[in-house]
Amino acid sequence: MAAARESFTDIIQILLTYRADVNQSKTDSVQDTALTMAAEFELCSVAHELCKARADVNKARMATSEGAAATAMLIAAENGHSAMVDLLGVFKADPNKVTSDGLTSMAVAAKKGSVEAGRRFGT
């Protein structure tokens, strides 16, 4: 998680060599995974390494008072990270997964005014 947050892809590769759990969630109330965190901050190189290591692209973090439970795709759409949306699509992230309040990635992008991210779902 720390290597992902700092975008240390070389450290991530080493940790994965030693079989670090690519789907491990934090133990806080949000329960982010390294992939959901990478999606939030548009760390595409980190997300790419995690996805190559078979990160669960459809695993959702927990709902909080600040927001609904969401997958990496939903988080990327909400933040307007079109490059991340594209990357997650390559690794078969489901754009039809819904947030805990019932919104798809397209709906989240539209609600946030994320035009470029929203366009990715129309193709």
Cα–Cα dist 32/86, whole Å: 21
| pTM greater than 0.85 | no
Structure confidence at residue 87 (pLDDT): 95
Phi-psi region of 9 (alpha: psi -120 to 50; beta: other; left: phi over 0): alpha
Residue 94 belongs to what domain range?
Answer: 2-121
Per-residue pLDDT 10s for the chain (123 aa) are: 888 888 888 988 898 899 988 888 876 667 789 999 999 999 999 999 999 999 999 998 776 555 667 899 988 988 889 899 999 999 999 988 887 778 888 888 888 777 676 676 654
Structure confidence at residue 55 (pLDDT): 94
Count: domains in the chain? 1
Q: Which two tokens stand for residue 37?
A: 């965190």
Structure confidence at residue 39 (pLDDT): 94
Alpha helices, DSSP H only, in the chain?
2-5, 9-17, 34-40, 44-52, 72-78, 82-90, 105-112, 115-121
Q: Which two tokens stand for residue 112?
A: 């946030």
CATH code, domain with 62: 1.25.40.20
Structure confidence at residue 32 (pLDDT): 86
